[in-house]
Structure 1
Amino acid sequence: MPGTFEPLPGGGASVALDDVEISIIRSLAVQLLELIGPGPAEDDAPADPLAELFAEGPSEPPSDPVLKRLFPDAYRDPEQSGNPQEAAEQRAHSAEFRRYTENDLRAGKRENALAVIHSLNALTPGEGGLAVLELTPAESRRWLGALNDLRLAIGARLDITDEDDTDDFYRLPDEDPRKPMVMAYLWLGGLQETLVSTLMA
């Protein structure tokens, strides 16, 4: 069935996508890459792998709401604490955790988005204008990570904080400027759900 992931013999998943669907996913993945930002340039990369492992990243949370959703604080939001001392401790712990994990998280999300783009670029249209994407188990996990990130990014732009928030979006009139983004959010959710089911089968 088009737009639904199905299991492949021996593991992995496949899905039939048309030109419009391919274009939408590719465009969203490219935008996600631009938002996450490029990795370190080769000249800036430490020659010592151990130094690279302990390279420090940012300690402050990003200001962009999408990046905040993609790279949340590891500890409870300090602003929600009524105790100033507890809030200060949480800020310090979050900053320390972020400093040593965000670079790796960004690299992983970047690799997932790139894997999606590369696999879509390799597709050739088949019968009826549909192209069948076949993913290995490892590629499927990368796709799953990227689909999750894309939904988080769109959800942040739509200010969705809970899945229950989506109920109102089903009733949006067609002229509402948010409608295309909502449709993409719901469609990606369906893709993500069938991919999860396929990998768990």
Structure 2
Amino acid sequence: MSAWNLPEQTEGGKYRIPLRSDFAVLISQLSVELVHLLDAPVEGMDFLAALSGGYELKEPPADPVLQQLLPDMSDDPIDAIELRSFTEDTLRLLKSQRLQRIVGVLENTPEELIINEDEAWDWLSAFNDMRLYLGMRLSQYQGSVELVEPQWSKLEEKAEVLFSEESVDLPQEQLQESLICLAYIVVSWWQDSLLQEVINKQ
């Protein structure tokens, strides 16, 4: 497979990622899917509801992907529901806004991405949400409703098919799985490399 484009530190506390346009489009499209899944409410609605005493108790989401993205904040079931009722809408909104900013940047960055030092943790958090989302999608292909750590060799094997002549004959479901494998690899390498650069700078 062609070389991965990984973050590297530049002068002035910034991080540079040379972008492959096809990778950027793929990550952007999957980020939009995740934004739709999060279905963020209007900003401040849960806070206003809490102040007025009009908030409703929230059960954990039925979607296993959202269960990973919006986990319980307490081991106690009653406390978990109470905390979720105060915080879930704000968390959905925060995650959605981070992803939307990334989508906007990727769609308007033709050759390289510059991440400012004060934005690095927002990018790392968004990358983490993407990995959870993509990891759950891959787990579901294996028939699991729980997050299963993917085998890196299997990911690369399925992603490699996209760069071969075989890709034109792939069934739609297999093609989609291979694209998700590729996205998982790209996001993982971006996140891990950016995190290492951030740590090195401290």
Alignment correspondent of 1:114: 100
Distance 1:167 1:65, change over 3 A: farther
Paired residue type of 2:178: K
CA distance in 2, matches of 1:105, 1:14: 28
Please give the secondary structure, in 1, of the residue aligned with 2:132.
Answer: helix
Deviation for aligned residue 1:157: 1.5
Which of 12, 15, 37 pairs up with 1:35?
37
- Residue 58 of structure 1 contacts residue 102 of structure 1 at CA under 8 Å; is this kept in 2? no
Unaligned runs of 5+ in 2: 140-145, 162-169
Alignment correspondent of 1:128: none
Q: When the two structures are superposed, what TM-score results if normalisation uses the length of structure 2?
A: 0.75
CA distance in 2, matches of 1:112, 1:37: 13
Distance 1:75 1:69, change over 3 A: same
Paired residue type of 1:5: P
Alignment correspondent of 2:90: 104
Deviation for aligned residue 1:21: 1.1
CA distance in 1, matches of 2:11, 2:49: 39
Number of residue pairs the alignment of both structures matches: 177
Deviation for aligned residue 1:13: 1.1
Q: Which has the higher contact order (CA 8 A, sep 6+)?
A: 1
Alignment correspondent of 1:82: none
Is 2:147 aligned against 1:161?
yes
Alignment correspondent of 1:182: 181
Please give the secondary structure, in 1, of the residue aligned with 2:22.
Answer: helix
Q: When the two structures are superposed, what TM-score results if normalisation uses the length of structure 1?
A: 0.75
Identity, % of aligned pairs? 25
Please give the secondary structure, in 2, of the residue aligned with 1:74.
Answer: coil
Q: Within 5 Å, which residues of 2 pair with 1:78-89?
A: none
Deviation for aligned residue 1:193: 0.3
- Residue 155 of structure 2 contacts residue 185 of structure 2 at CA under 8 Å; is this kept in 1? no
CA distance in 2, matches of 1:120, 1:164: 26
98-107 or 55-64, larger mean C-alpha shift:
55-64
Unaligned runs of 5+ in 1: 77-89, 126-130
Q: Within 5 Å, which residues of 2 pair with 1:39-78?
A: 39-40=41-42, 51=48, 54=51, 56=55, 59-76=58-75
Alignment correspondent of 1:87: none
- Residue 54 of structure 1 contacts residue 100 of structure 1 at CA under 8 Å; is this kept in 2? no
Paired residue type of 2:189: G
- Residue 23 of structure 2 contacts residue 183 of structure 2 at CA under 8 Å; is this kept in 1? no
Paired residue type of 2:16: S
CA distance in 2, matches of 1:53, 1:122: 38
- Residue 30 of structure 1 contacts residue 117 of structure 1 at CA under 8 Å; is this kept in 2? yes
Distance 1:50 1:96, change over 3 A: closer
